[in-house]
Amino acid sequence: MKLMEGFGKYFLMLTIVFRAPEKMSIFRKRLFEELEQIGINSIPLVALMSSFIGGVIALQTASNMSNPLLPTYTVGYITQSSTILEFSPTIISLILAGKVGSNIASEIGTMRVTEQIDALEIMGVNSLNFLVLPKVTAAVLFFPILVIFSMGLSLVGGWIALVLSDLSSTETYIYGIRYYFEMSNVWYALTKCVVFGFIIVTISSFYGYYVKGGSLEVGRSSTQAVVSSSVAILVANFLLTQMILLS
């Protein structure tokens, strides 16, 4: 019952968020702030995660390949397909749900409990549109960039790990990456991460915007925001995989 009510409130919120901004010049300014906050500031974390996980995927594949029947370029192929299909779009989004999601929920939640949102509404500003639309737009625009960046760095991470531990040569690894490379998988990954970016921002904003109480509740709602957006990402991932890959 509570859950259904929550869903209703969430979709109602979306209808208020997605309206034309009151003033384009202010929207543009806010968008650039959010591109920095959500996008640029996430680059170090994404870089770190991607290069290490890419390295680990490559090493584990290489060390498990005792079967001489498998061609040596399999390592590159598997690293490529697993990062592009799942790791970069899904795992990176889950990590960003933690970073970006908690950030957004606590920012908007603090504005709620300190009456800053009331102050916006009093002036006649559509506070949901003003606060959330630039964030959603920034996430939808920048998540694909982050994910492409992550794919590239994972492959580089895998390459460095393999060469350092002498498990494969550069040529074989690159051959493996290019072997059976399907551009449609990249498009699939980008579609997914756009959806995930949307989910993270809107769900976290929802938890922040409707928080009641004080700083304790803000903390709680930001944890709740991360949990709920992560679950939503997993469910959406499952549905999207069914829809796109199996159709």
Partner 1 sequence: MIEVKHVNKSFGKTQVLKDISATFEKGKVNLIIGQSGHGKTVLAKCIVGLHEVESGEILFNGRDFCKMNRVERTSIRQEIGMLFQGSALFDSMTVEENVMFPLLMFKKMTKKEMHTRVNFCLERVNLTGRNSLFPSECSGGMQKRIGIARAIAMNPKYLFCDEPNSGLDPKTAILIDTLIREITYEYQITTVAITHDMNSVMEIGDNILFIHNGNNWWTGNKNNIISTENPEVTSFVYASEFMKEIKDSIIEKNKNK
Question: Can residue 246 be called a binding residue for partner 1 (CB under 8 A)?
Answer: no
Three-state secondary structure readout of 46-69:
HHHHHHHHHHHHHHHHHHCCCCCC
What letter represents residue 80's amino acid?
Q
Shortest Cβ 26–partner 1 spacing (Å):
6
36 lines the binding site for partner 1 (CB under 8 A): no
- Residue type present at position 244: I
State yes or no: residue 40 binds partner 1 (CB under 8 A).
no
The residue within the footprint of partner 1, chosen from 14, 121, 149, 240 (CB under 8 A), is: 121
Min dist. Cβ of residue 174 to partner 1 (A) = 46
The answer to whether 118 contacts partner 1 (rule: CB under 8 A) is yes
x-marked contacts with partner 1 along 133-172 as a string, rule CB under 8 A: ----------------------------------------
Query: What are 233's two structure tokens?
Result: 């990402």
Binding residue (CB under 8 A) for partner 1 from 22, 36, 171, 182:
22
Does 245 engage in binding with partner 1 (CB under 8 A)? no
Our separate counts of H helices and E strands in the chain read 11, 0
Q: Is 41 in the site for partner 1 (CB under 8 A)?
A: no
Q: Minimum Å distance from CB 124 to partner 1?
A: 4
Half-sphere exposure of 64 (CA within 13 A, CB side): 10
**Straight-line distance from the first to the last Cα atom of the chain, in angstroms, rounded to the nearest whole number:** 34
Q: How far is CA 83 from CA 16, 42, 51, 205, in A?
A: 36, 18, 11, 29
**What is the C-alpha to C-alpha distance for residues 137 and 71, in angstroms, rounded to an integer?**
44
Which residue type occupies 72?
T
Q: Which residues bind partner 1 (CB under 8 A)?
A: 22-23, 26, 114-116, 118-119, 121-126
